[in-house]
Amino acid sequence: MFIPATESEMRALGWDRLDVVLVTGDAYIDHPSMGVSLIGHVLMDAGYRVGVIAQPSLESGDDISRLGEPRLFWGVSAGSIDSLVANYTPSLKRRRSDDYTPGGLGGRRPDRAVIAYANLIRRFFRNTRPIVLGGIEASLRRVAHYDFWTDSIRRSVLFDAKADSLVYGMGEKAVLQLAGRLAAGRDFRDVPGTCSIAKDRPEGAVELPSYEEVSRDDEAFARMFGLFCGAGDAALAQRHGDRWLVQNPPQPCLTTEELDRVHGLDFERGLHPSCGPEGSVRALETIRFSLTTHRGCFGGCSFCSISVHQGRAIVSRSKASVVEEARKLTEHPGFKGIIADVGGPTANMYGARCGRRSGAFACRDRRCLWPEVCPSLRAGHRQQTELLTELRRVPGVKKVFVASGIRHDLVMADAEAGREFLAQVVAHHVSGQLKIAPEHSEKGVLDLMGKPGTECLVAFKDLFYRLNRSCGKSQFLTYYLLAAHPGCTLEDMEKLKRFATEELRTNPEQVQIFTPLPSTWSALMYRTGRNPFDGSEIFVQKDARGRGRQKDVLTARARIGKRRR
Ligand code: SF4
């Protein structure tokens, strides 16, 4: 069912007041892949009365007042994507479209959406119930951070939004505890998995260099970021003027059973009717008939925010739960027999675990896949192969695709099961092209990115095309590549172009210009011009034209001579 988004839907349920109102920068898509929808259903499952306000206008109080004032709290999210990433290209040009907005129209999600929505609420509800921030924008901006769009260090978004609490990471448990505390009239500021503002530093919290210090001193910023990433289960505190930003210890990850339960809730897998008349939402077409098998990523790529937000530990759903969801898809009136994707942040991390640390992926001083795949890592290709086989057998399912990116080094490191998995993917689960993200070819750049070398990539490519030939298919690999990452020069891009042409035999089309996302290692490199792992100076291309030129080196001839193997 849809979470109420209008007063009449609230009344139809016999509710005269909501406990929680969730405000989002996305259109209201009721689907387990959408954070606000997921949190809303989790709260409803626990007995709370919840409503959703999607993309409220900032011009008047009509939208934000639609469902009245909640009894417990307002939950505010920018949506599935940071609003500045959604609204601007890497060259800082305003985007015209937004994949999470009806009709694809840009401009419905305001810049710095969590701040804009928190201000909107305060404008029309004075002295209102607590405002709780969540979602990826708030999560990545929870402590002082580098902001590419103003080329400055900004303070925690909790101060700018003047909000009362911030849920970081995957928020189900934190949100339920917050709601429970508020319903019982208890203090909520120390709930694990949340940040709040305090007058004093809590005892035992690890102190980060202050916002003022990291704003003026890059070394302090680098030290701060190291402490932030290595915090583990500790509380953190960072002075901002005469107040403290306090990050409480994280919540434990959901268990497999808990994740199964969340995905088993009653999602519509559709766009709320109130958004309908303006046109379809592109993101929905991608996710509507896709299955999420796990959350988390231990890839640790320096430029990526997934492990900062979702965590490094993999939590996988049970096979039974995923298969049951596939069965339910077959009852959906719009389902045509095609499951568009089975995966997660990285497709082939389903079932993976750390063999040394009881699955916790807790090493603070090393990465799981770089510089090589850790021998303690237990890949889950066998379970994933079994899962895909079972999904193909679900009556009413004609095709099952793996469209999420595959981590090719993980496949190659898992000698037998990795190859069996790839053979099955090639035989049954590729929709013409399989995505992988080598990002670059040059060792210096790859090392800064935390990505594997080209030897493993070439071996994977050869295996992929060999498997294709052996089953009579003619599918191809799509390579995602990145220009202008810190440490990357024009010469590196020329070498990458040569490598792509001569070794990969492709004219790259999927080339992005690097954007420094808040709270990532690569943003730290971009800001400081140093390799944070050894302190050495690195070249950083900051000039917009220079960044564009790096991309042009790769894409100039992409229109000619398409996809040669
Ligand atoms: S032991 Fe290896 S697999 Fe486990 S967390 Fe550490 S680096 Fe990752």
Query: Which residue's CA is the nearest one to ligand 1's atom 7?
Result: 368
Instruction: Say which amino acid occupies 127.
Output: N
Helices (H) and strands (E) in the chain, counts: 21, 24
From-to residues of CATH 3.40.50.280 in the chain: 7-188
Is residue 117 within 8 Å of residue 56, measured between CB atoms? yes
User: What's the gap in Å between 232 CA and the centre of ligand 1?
Assistant: 14
| Bond before 32 cis per omega within 30 degrees | no
Shortest-distance atom of ligand 1 to CA 366: 7
**Would the CB of 402 count as within 6 Å of ligand 1?**
no
Query: Which residue's CA is the nearest one to ligand 1's atom 4?
Result: 354
Q: Which of 253, 298, 349, 354 most suits a substitution to test ligand 1, by most atoms within 8 Å of the C-beta?
A: 354
**Would the CB of 356 count as within 6 Å of ligand 1?**
yes
For domain 289-430, the CATH class is: alpha beta
**Would the CB of 467 count as within 6 Å of ligand 1?**
no
Q: Which of 229, 307, 358, 361 most suits a substitution to test ligand 1, by most atoms within 8 Å of the C-beta?
A: 361
User: What's the gap in Å between 453 CA and the centre of ligand 1?
Assistant: 19
**Would the CB of 373 count as within 6 Å of ligand 1?**
no
- The first and second tokens of residue 467, run together, are 């498997």
**Would the CB of 370 count as within 6 Å of ligand 1?**
no
**Would the CB of 360 count as within 6 Å of ligand 1?**
no
**Would the CB of 366 count as within 6 Å of ligand 1?**
yes
User: What's the gap in Å between 368 CA and the centre of ligand 1?
Assistant: 5
Q: Closest Cα partner for 136 from 286, 33, 47?
A: 33
Is residue 300 within 8 Å of residue 307, measured between CB atoms? yes
239 vs 229: CA distance, rounded Å? 18
Instruction: Say which amino acid occupies 256.
Output: T
266 vs 245: CA distance, rounded Å? 37
**Would the CB of 490 count as within 6 Å of ligand 1?**
no
Q: Which of 358, 364, 374 most suits a substitution to test ligand 1, by most atoms within 8 Å of the C-beta?
A: 374
467 vs 478: CA distance, rounded Å? 16
Shortest-distance atom of ligand 1 to CA 298: 8
105 vs 27: CA distance, rounded Å? 11
From-to residues of CATH 3.30.750.200 in the chain: 432-565
Query: Which residue's CA is the nearest one to ligand 1's atom 5?
Result: 361
Query: Which residue's CA is the nearest one to ligand 1's atom 6?
Result: 363
- The first and second tokens of residue 544, run together, are 């917009």
Topology of domain 7-188 in CATH is Rossmann fold (3.40.50)
Which CATH number applies to 432-565: 3.30.750.200, 3.40.50.10420, 3.40.50.300, 2.30.42.10? 3.30.750.200
Burial of 251 by CB count in 10 Å (0-12 exposed, 13-18 middle, 19+ buried)? buried
From-to residues of CATH 3.30.750.210 in the chain: 289-430
Among left, alpha and beta (phi > 0; psi -120 to 50; other), residue 533 is alpha
Sequential pLDDT tens for the chain (565 residues): 999 999 999 999 999 999 999 999 999 999 999 999 999 999 999 999 999 999 999 999 999 999 999 999 999 999 999 999 999 999 999 999 999 999 898 889 999 999 999 999 999 999 999 999 999 999 999 999 999 999 999 999 999 999 999 999 999 999 999 999 999 999 999 999 999 999 999 999 999 999 999 999 999 999 999 999 988 889 999 999 999 999 999 999 999 999 999 999 999 999 999 886 677 899 998 899 999 999 999 998 999 998 888 888 999 999 999 999 999 999 999 999 999 999 999 999 999 999 886 657 778 878 999 999 999 999 999 999 999 999 999 999 999 999 999 999 999 999 899 999 999 999 999 989 999 999 999 999 999 999 999 999 999 999 999 999 999 999 999 999 999 999 999 999 999 999 999 999 988 888 999 999 999 999 999 999 999 999 999 999 999 999 999 999 998 755 444 443 3
